Amino acid sequence: MTSGRVNPKFRLDDQGISGLGNVYYNYLEPALIQEALKRDEGTLGQGGAFLVTTGKFTGRSPKDKHVVKTPSVADSIWWENNAAMSPEGFDALHADMIEHMKGRDYFVQDLIGGSDPTVSINVRMITELAWHNLFIRHLLRHPERAQLDSFIADFTVINCPSFQANPEKHNCRSETVIAMNFDKNLILIGGTEYAGENKKSVFTLLN
């Protein structure tokens, strides 16, 4: 089942992501809080704030962040400070994550990174956790609701905390992974519930 407002020509199926459970497109804050509470992702605090714990990670995992090393970026990335991932490792990671997602519910937000329209980017955020969708709505700009009907993302971020990477197969450091592919306009995040990875991924693109 799918619900919410979305460009009918840019659903997850159109991005090669199929076989999921329920898909919730561009839910507003009250509905996201309801979904998060229903899934026991957190609790409401005094005054209505939504309270969560982020598991074993209480901050970002910079050593688990990788950039896919392709000819288009090989000479423009500071590799001493950015871990490289092979295109083959990324493709295996992508395929395994998509397979892992099947049957699970996901939340989708179509948002804008940056306030200057000359440099801003359209971002689709696909998250396993409802509260991650809520979090990113507070940090990125929202298109007008009518604009969602024609929204096309420049970059897509998939965040799947329940997925654990295979370092040998996926050419990464650990079971936690943040992988950026500038050729495919795609970022994959797995093995961490820390929501700041969503925000930092978009800010990295803007920088």
The confidence band for 58, taking pLDDT boundaries of 50, 70 and 90, is low
Question: Residues of the chain with pLDDT > 70: what percent?
Answer: 99
Say if residue 32's pLDDT is above 90.
yes
102 neighbors 22 (Cβ within 8 angstroms): no
pLDDT in tens, 153-196: 999 999 999 999 999 999 999 999 999 999 999 999 999 999 99
Q: Are 139 and 199 in contact (CB under 8 A)?
A: yes
Residue written as token pair 């359209």 = 122
Kindly tell me if the per-residue pLDDT of 201 is higher than 70: yes
Q: At what angle do helices 29-38 and 130-137 cross, to 10 degrees?
A: 150
Least confident of 38-42, 81-85, 98-102, 159-163: 81-85
Average pLDDT, integer, range 50-70: 85
Indicate the burial class of 84 (C-beta count within 10 angstroms; 0-12, 13-18, 19 or more).
Answer: middle
d(CA 201, CA 185): 12
Walk me through the domains of the chain, giving residue ranges and CATH numbers: 2-36+60-206 (3.40.449.10)
Bridge partners (DSSP) listed for residue 143: none
Token pair 């049957």 is found at 103
* CA separation for the pair 109, 93 (Å, rounded): 22
- pLDDT for 67-88, tens place per residue? 999 999 998 888 888 899 999 9
The predicted pLDDT at position 185 comes to: 98
This prediction's pTM = 0.95
Residue 201 DSSP SS3:
helix
- Answer whether 60's CB lies under 8 Å from 197's CB: yes
Q: Give yes or no for residue 59 having a pLDDT over 70.
A: no
Each residue's pLDDT tens digit, 104-133: 999 999 999 999 999 999 999 999 999 999
Helix, strand or coil for residue 23? strand
